[in-house]
Amino acid sequence: MLKNSKIYVGKVIHRRFKPKNHYFKYRVFSLLIDLDDLNEIDNKIKIFSYNKFNIISFFDKDHGDRDGTSLKNWVKKKLENIGIDNKDVKIKLFCYPRILGYVFNPLSVFFIYDKYDKIISLFYEVKNTFGEQHTYIFKAEDNETLRNSCVKKFHVSPFIDMECNYKFRVNKPSDKISVIIDQSDNDGKLLFASQDGTAKEFSNKNLFVSYIFHPLMTFKVIVAIHYEAFKLWLKGIKFIKKKINIKNNSSVEKSEFE
């Protein structure tokens, strides 16, 4: 039994408050992968492969440095840079898997635990549809609900300006998971986005059932992004051109308890 990695089945919600109201919701499944479990998952789960094509797969190059090198080493280097002891850490990544070779992860969350199984850091890895990525890195205190906030540093939506702030609220993964982002500009709340899920054992049966109920999920994610963008355009919301190109950056953010 894979005790440290799980499947989460749930939904994504987006609600925009201005200048026009806009709302959508869709069903998804995600994986919470203990990076130390990847080879075992590869061996035990028939429809899953690690760094190889399968119905469901996970590739190192989809995260971190995006060059296929060790994600664990990438995380440990980032921890060292912010003065966190990286010895004996456990790293879990909450993300969409590849389905039939394709994935787009608007947001992936790295949960980093110390040897006492306490969360010590969170990485929020954000991608846009231009193939770019930015990771917001926080120190964390081990609470059931983890809260972080920062200034937006990365162009995501062409319908939202850069002059914004994020507030992240994440519950410590257990039988349930919840990731909430409140985005505000100088005039108040702009956007609410959330993803929640209920945990299932990471098994052949549960992964296959998740796939059957969401057979083209990762394709649906990217199609939905463009479809919702088209509807925003029809509503007359201003299109904001991306000013700079950022392939893969990260920023160390001040945690609320520091």
**Tokens, residue 151:** 């200034």
| Mean pLDDT of the 115-119 span | 95
191-229 pLDDT, tens digit per residue, is 999 999 999 999 999 999 999 999 999 999 999 999 999
| Per-residue confidence band for 258, with pLDDT thresholds at 50, 70 and 90 | low
Helix, coil or strand: residue 189: strand
| Mean pLDDT of the 173-178 span | 97
Rounded Cα distance, 118 and 111, in Å:
10
118-151 pLDDT, tens digit per residue, is 999 999 999 999 999 999 999 999 999 999 999 9
57-109 pLDDT, tens digit per residue, is 999 999 999 999 999 999 999 999 999 999 999 999 999 999 999 999 999 99
Q: Where are the domains of the chain?
A: 6-252
Q: For the whole model, what pTM was predicted?
A: 0.96
Helix, coil or strand: residue 228: helix
Rounded Cα distance, 249 and 244, in Å:
12
pLDDT of residue 243: 86
**Tokens, residue 207:** 């992964």
% pLDDT > 70, the chain: 99
Q: Mean pLDDT over all residues of the chain?
A: 95
